[in-house]
Amino acid sequence: MKIDLLKYESYLKMIKNSAGSKMFRNLYLEINGKKIDATQNGKYSCAFFVSNVLLIWGLISEGHASVLSTIKDMEGNGWKKIPKSKIRPGDVIVWDKEKSSDNSYFYSKEHYHNGFYIGAKKAISNSSNGKGVPIIHNWNYNNKRKIIAVYRYPKF
């Protein structure tokens, strides 16, 4: 009997099934002896969500708390930037910087956002609107946020 893992199909299903999951809501760090929730109960967990899905499938080296460190790890593991016109399900989307109302010393006033393209001009990314969980939404937030990069794993 021949059995093959359908990695790409399973990866896509994991991404879609993550909608509403609280699994990626909290990431604790100790900074100068003080414990903090780096994702602030899901408010800033987009990179934690994306990087850990990629980590589960062996597509990057470790989980991350920032979009920029996630991108660096992706590029170091063979991910390639592709034109938005070539996007397909499973690709990672990076949106432009957005201003934050948070005055935390841990976060800058502006931050990038990332998530996964799931097809039909839809994406899934962590919600920063108080839900703190991955949600499915329009891939460009109804023209409110510009896609600045799309990355694809070349073996998919």
1, part of any domain = no
For residue 94, give the CATH number of its domain: 3.90.1720.10
| Token reading at 4 | 């093959």
Question: How far apart are alpha carbons 45 and 84 in whole angstroms?
Answer: 24
| Residue 35 binned pLDDT confidence (cut-offs 50, 70, 90) | very high
How many domains does the chain fold into? 1
12, part of any domain = yes
| pTM over 0.85, yes/no | yes
**Tens digits of residue pLDDT in 39-61:** 889 888 999 999 999 999 999 99
Residue numbers of the domain that contains 103: 7-152
Q: Are 67 and 80 in contact (CB under 8 A)?
A: no
How open is the CA angle 71-128-107, to the nearest 5 degrees? 60
**Tens digits of residue pLDDT in 74-90:** 999 999 999 999 999 99
Q: How far are the Cα atoms of 14, 32, 113, 118, 149 from residue 42, in angstroms, in the given order?
A: 19, 22, 13, 21, 23
Position of tokens 């899905």? Answer: 53
What stretch of H or E contains 15? helix 7-17
